[in-house]
Amino acid sequence: MNMWLVIGAGTLIVLFFLWNRLGRASAAKVKEHLDRAALVVDVRTPQEFRGGHFPGAMNLPLDSLQNGLRKLGQKDRPIVVYCASGMRSRMARRILHSNGYINAINAGGLHAMMRHAQ
């Protein structure tokens, strides 16, 4: 019985990580957007942002994103969103796409964002 609990828990963990990676742009796509002078938007909280962020990023927390869309400028501009792990940025990309920001991509978490920029 315990073996099935371990297998079930392991399966859930693997599924969580796979689901979390869905909707993330490839490193090449992030780099392409950055090379096109994309607006980089950090959707973490202001406290998280103060603790370290991608150089030049705008902080627009996920819970303020819908009301702050006008700060993003033209809807066709390239935008890269990131957060801590990729979960909030995935939701942010969805919000942006549903509001017509067709060139918005999800870079995932801050660490991935830093790696993609190199």
As annotated, the active-site residues are 83
Separation of alpha carbons 63 and 43, rounded Å: 8
Separation of alpha carbons 85 and 20, rounded Å: 8
